[in-house]
Amino acid sequence: MMTLKAFEFKRGDTIIHRLDPRVKFLLSISFLALSFIYSNLVMLLIFLLTIIPLFYFAKSLENYLKSLKGALLFIILVSALNYFVSGLYLALTITLRLILLMSSFSIFFMTTYPEDFALMLVNIGVPYDFALTLTMSIRFVPTLAREAQIIIDAQRSRGLELEKGNFMVKLKNYIPILVPLIVNALRRSMSVAEAMESRAFGASPKRSSLVELSFKREDYIALLIIVFFTTIMLLLKFYFHIEDSLNLYLFFTG
Amino acid sequence: MAIIEVKDLSYKYPGSSKYALRDISLNIDEGEFVVITGPSGCGKTTLCRCFNGLIPHFYGGEFIGDVIVNGMSVKNTPITILSKYVGMVFQDPESQLFSLNVEREVAFGLENLGLDREEIRFRVNEVLELMGISHLRNRAPFELSGGEQQKVALAACLAMRPKILVLDEPTSHLDPVSAYSLLNLLNELKNKLKLTVVIVEHRLEALVAVCDKLIIMNEGKIVFNEDSKTVFSKENINSIKGIGIGIPKVVELYHNLLNSGFTLRNIPLSPKMFKEYLLEVVRK
Amino acid sequence: MIEVHDLWFYYDSNPVLKGVSLEINSGEIVAIMGENGAGKTTLIKHFNGLLKPKRGYVKVFGIDTRYATVAQLSRRVGLVFQNPDHQLFAETVEEEVSFALKNFGFPKEVISERVERVLKLLDLYDLKDRSPFTLSGGERRRVTIASVLCYDPDIIIFDEPTVGQDYMQKEKLAQLIKLLHTRSKTVIVVTHDVEFVAENFPRVILLSSGRIIADGSTRKILTDEDLMKKANLVLPQVTQIAYLLHEFGIPKDLLLVHEIRDSILKIFAGEKL
């Protein structure tokens, strides 16, 4: 559950929050691309260390670290699997890549209003309805999390013990949790749809918006930095073959 | 002038064997404050949904008869048009607030209507000011208390400048003080904005003194449609009790005294009114 | 039976309960009231171990809740949650009601006997093969109550049972509480419905901002204007009338219609006649 916090929007008025979502999205995509283009451990680590300060500036560092902790089990699982299949180096590389993946989108979602995310999607041509579905889902994640907790409490109060039993028993025990959760989610979606219709949803084919996405000075600067950084990294990889040099260095220093 | 006319309305939800509404006819005049009440399952929520077109357009089902709202036939007018004239506030605050920011929530309906940005901004500011919640502008709706949330929902409706406001058990999840606060605000707004208000409620204490008409439903039919004093009169009180409505204690007291031979001039609908009528009798 | 001593509880770093102490004895019927956010639900979750104290302790039947599991405590403390839809999951009403009995390890014959008994008690027997999701709101609520009553806990707690309920449903609830009382059960109800409490509960515990600001006779507490204001509650309507007529000799601490009627007749009937 804690891992979800990585993608939960947390309000704030930091420099990262104020950046245009398109710029932040470009940041996420760039890091995503770089984390796949590169397979060198040192480089991947450098990328991660570049992203982490951004969380600090977004005042979301605590939530980010908490969510990493939550995902720890999954991360360890993946590492272990890869360790046994391909050895330590590759295991570490893949683990780091996983973390980078998560982090590069985490910074986006943690600092962007879901509605701005929708605006961005519409801006690049995604139909409004689709963008809305996405942002609604995001908006209701904390609600669902809260409901899940209530449901767990209610069923535990009827003697349900989630910790006991073997794997099959444990799985079966989640039915009394999942069924109410899903049924309520469906019910809620009807209520939400009702409320939206009652506020003239779909009235005008050309929907206007209170907020408008526009680039400010900080956005241009950030854009420049991202493009510059990514270009340098691409050059280092494909022109200067830095990975080979690093590997050679590591090889020689054992 | 009737702003809502219900003509021989019967309605069955899809897949249901029972009629939720049976032969309902009623008129609501412009500017009236109407309370609809009745035991659970009597059809009051269903009737509400007919006022802005959710029934029949969103729910489907079998819709017999018609409802004319502001001169428009509900059967033949889409919700997108009806919702410009009829604002609806629902019971559960959580399901009717979809934004992460009060300002944007209030703007949602206006954005749907395609109004231009300046107009939207103006109306949002206006309604936040009117409701006294400007200070909540940048807060996330789910951070707010239940009472504040319902005020936001109300603001989001009022921004669209409807002529009619329909509220379905809006105080259900609120504590008594927030409930009274919301209802008082509603009354003020009704007068200021010259709205017609239809509210479905179980808790009648706060409403019977201010409403123009009290409509009591039971099993899909309208049983009473009068002003509060007539509804609670001696002739009607026993059938009201039989239906299972929560009669305000002050009305119960009136009837108790009546049965003991102590008669007040009229049926008091609030403690203040009770005192007034009591003193009248005593001073004679 | 329930002993709470200097209970403190925090959500993250926010204190929700600040040094709450109380005792509830066997067979009592108590209403816990207070504004939204006062800590009422947090408090009752300590009674069956869902929450453990951060400071202080809670003892239920002499057992310190910090050292018992929720399942162990729930066996004797039944908690009926506010929203039935947060619990219903089974294919039939019968299966739904048997859930707790199965979890607590009751033998099959006992389960079917108990389920039948409680369904009949709550007027649900005809619905036993129906899916809980097809029932009306009131019926669903009765199913969740049946799910708790069937395993016969000594203490039964209802969290906001009157929200959205019509008059008849509240009457039935009041009757059920009386019935449980005659069977020597301890009943605790969390609510902000003052009229319901005025009519059915002899004892009220008033919470405000995580602290108990009053604990005692319903009459004394619900007719105290300052206390009620502090707890964000309104006076019962009868009490409001009594306050307005106080200058004529009507006592302020009246709760019920027949009380104020008698008082009015005594004071005014003479003058009228």
For chain B of 284 residues, list the mean pLDDT of each consecutive stretch of 10: 93 92 95 94 94 94 95 94 95 87 92 92 94 91 87 95 96 89 92 94 91 95 94 92 91 93 92 93 80
User: Quick one: C65 and C97 in the same domain?
Assistant: no
User: Quick one: C130 and C159 in the same domain?
Assistant: no
Query: Subunits that touch chain B (at least 3 Cβ pairs < 8 angstroms)?
Result: A, C
Interface probe with C: pick from B245, B249, B281, most Cβ of C within 10 Å? B249
Q: Which two tokens stand for residue A34?
A: 């770089």
Residues of A near C (Cβ–Cβ under 8 Å) read 147, 150-151, 153-161, 175-176, 179-180, 183-184, 187
Nearest CA in chain C to B253: C257
pLDDT at residue C188, as a whole number: 97
Q: How confident is the model at residue A13 (pLDDT cuts 50, 70, 90)?
A: confident
pLDDT at residue B127, as a whole number: 95
pLDDT at residue A94, as a whole number: 84
Residues in contact with A6: Cβ distance below 8 Å, sequence separation at least 6, in sequence order: A63, A64, A67, A68, A71, A102, A103, A106, A109, A110
Between vectors from CA C73 to CA C18 and to CA C44, what angle results, nearest 5°? 30
Q: Which domain holds residue C162?
A: 1-76+155-168+177-218
Nearest CA in chain B to C167: B246
Count the Cβ atoms, other than its own, within 10 Å of residue C230: 16
Are the C-beta atoms of residues C198 and C222 closer than 8 Å to each other? yes
Interface probe with A: pick from B104, B122, B137, most Cβ of A within 10 Å? B104
Q: Which two tokens stand for residue A25?
A: 């999205």
Per-residue pLDDT at A245 exceeds 90: no
Residues in contact with B213: Cβ distance below 8 Å, sequence separation at least 6, in sequence order: B28, B32, B33, B34, B35, B225, B226, B227
pLDDT at residue A250, as a whole number: 66
User: Quick one: C41 and C96 in the same domain?
Assistant: no
Closest residue to B145, CB basis, from C36, C165, C169: C36
- Establish if C128 belongs to a structural domain: yes
Residues of each domain in chain B carrying CATH 3.40.50.300: 1-85+162-177+186-245
User: Quick one: C10 and C71 in the same domain?
Assistant: yes
Q: How far away is chain A from the Cα of B198, in angstroms, using its nearest Cα?
A: 15
Give me the sign of the Cα torsion angle A225, A230, A235, A237: positive
C-alpha distance from residue A176 to each of B144, B152, C134 (Å):
30, 34, 17
Nearest CA in chain C to A184: C85
User: Quick one: C103 and C16 in the same domain?
Assistant: no
- Establish if C198 belongs to a structural domain: yes
Average pLDDT over residues C157-185: 93
Average pLDDT over residues A56-68: 84
User: Quick one: C143 and C112 in the same domain?
Assistant: yes
- Establish if C127 belongs to a structural domain: yes
DSSP assignment string, A140-152: HHHHHHHHHHHHH
Pick from A163-172, C33-42, C157-166 the range whose average pLDDT is largest: C157-166
What's the rounded Cα separation, in Å, for the pair A212 and B164?
31
pLDDT at residue A40, as a whole number: 82
- Establish if C94 belongs to a structural domain: yes
The predicted model scores a pTM of 0.87
C-alpha distance from residue B60 to each of A14, A158, C267 (Å):
48, 38, 60
Alpha helices in chain C (DSSP H): 40-44, 70-74, 93-103, 108-121, 137-149, 167-182, 194-200, 218-222, 225-230, 237-244, 257-264, 270-272
Residues in contact with C223: Cβ distance below 8 Å, sequence separation at least 6, in sequence order: C235, C236, C239, C242, C252, C253, C254, C255
Chain C residues whose beta carbon lies within 8 Å of the beta carbon of residue A187: 85
Nearest CA in chain C to B264: C272
User: Quick one: C52 and C163 in the same domain?
Assistant: yes
- Return phi, psi of residue C211, to 5°: -125, 155
| Cβ-defined contact of A187 to C85 (cutoff 8 Å) | yes
Interface size, chain A vs chain C, as Cβ–Cβ contacts under 8 Å: 64
Beta bridge partners of C149: none
B71 SS3 class: coil
Beta bridge partners of C29: C187
Nearest CA in chain C to A186: C85
| Cβ-defined contact of C241 to B39 (cutoff 8 Å) | no
If one counts the domains in chain C, the total is 2
Residues in contact with A1: Cβ distance below 8 Å, sequence separation at least 6, in sequence order: A70, A145, A148
pLDDT at residue A121, as a whole number: 86
pLDDT tens, position by position, C81-137: 999 999 999 999 999 999 999 999 999 999 999 999 999 999 899 999 999 998 988
Q: Is B101 on the interface with A (CB under 8 A)?
A: yes
- How buried is residue A61: exposed, middle or buried, by Cβ count under 10 Å (0-12/13-18/19+)? middle
Count the Cβ atoms, other than its own, within 10 Å of residue A142: 16
Chain B residues whose beta carbon lies within 8 Å of the beta carbon of residue A18: none
Per-residue pLDDT at C273 exceeds 60: no
Average pLDDT over residues C22-30: 95
What's CA A253's distance to the chain center, in Å? Answer: 37
What's the rounded Cα separation, in Å, for the pair A239 and B141?
52
Q: Does CATH number 3.40.50.300 belong to domain B1-85+162-177+186-245?
A: yes
| Cβ-defined contact of A157 to C81 (cutoff 8 Å) | yes
Per-residue pLDDT at C271 exceeds 60: no
- Establish if C96 belongs to a structural domain: yes
| Cβ-defined contact of C86 to A158 (cutoff 8 Å) | no
pLDDT tens, position by position, A114-143: 778 888 888 888 888 888 888 788 788 888
C-alpha distance from residue B11 to each of A31, B21, B56, B223, C267 (Å):
57, 5, 9, 17, 53
| Cβ-defined contact of C50 to A158 (cutoff 8 Å) | no
| Cβ-defined contact of A180 to C89 (cutoff 8 Å) | yes
| Cβ-defined contact of A184 to C81 (cutoff 8 Å) | no
Q: Is B58 on the interface with A (CB under 8 A)?
A: yes
Chain C residues whose beta carbon lies within 8 Å of the beta carbon of residue A151: 86-87
Closest residue to B250, CB basis, from C167, C193, C237: C237
Closest residue to A200, CB basis, from B109, B120, B124: B109
What's the rounded Cα separation, in Å, for the pair B275 and A59?
59
Chain A residues whose beta carbon lies within 8 Å of the beta carbon of residue C78: 157
User: Quick one: C56 and C186 in the same domain?
Assistant: yes
Q: Compare A83 and A251 and report the one with higher pLDDT.
A: A83
Query: Subunits that touch chain A (at least 3 Cβ pairs < 8 angstroms)?
Result: B, C
What's the rounded Cα separation, in Å, for the pair A40 and C8?
51
- Total residue count of chain B as it appears in this document: 284
What's the rounded Cα separation, in Å, for the pair C97 and C80?
13
- Establish if C58 belongs to a structural domain: yes
Q: Which two tokens stand for residue C59?
A: 């003892």
User: Quick one: C11 and C45 in the same domain?
Assistant: yes
pLDDT at residue C67, as a whole number: 94
Q: How far away is chain B from the Cα of C240, in angstroms, using its nearest Cα?
A: 6
- We report the CATH number of the domain holding residue C195 as 3.40.50.300
Q: How confident is the model at residue A248 (pLDDT cuts 50, 70, 90)?
A: low
pLDDT at residue A77, as a whole number: 81
Residues of C near B (Cβ–Cβ under 8 Å) read 35-37, 136-138, 163-171, 192-195, 232-234, 236-238, 240-241, 243-245, 257-258, 260-261, 264-265, 268-269, 271-272
Q: How far away is chain B from the Cα of A151, in angstroms, using its nearest Cα?
A: 17
- How buried is residue A163: exposed, middle or buried, by Cβ count under 10 Å (0-12/13-18/19+)? exposed
Residues in contact with B14: Cβ distance below 8 Å, sequence separation at least 6, in sequence order: B59, B60, B61, B62
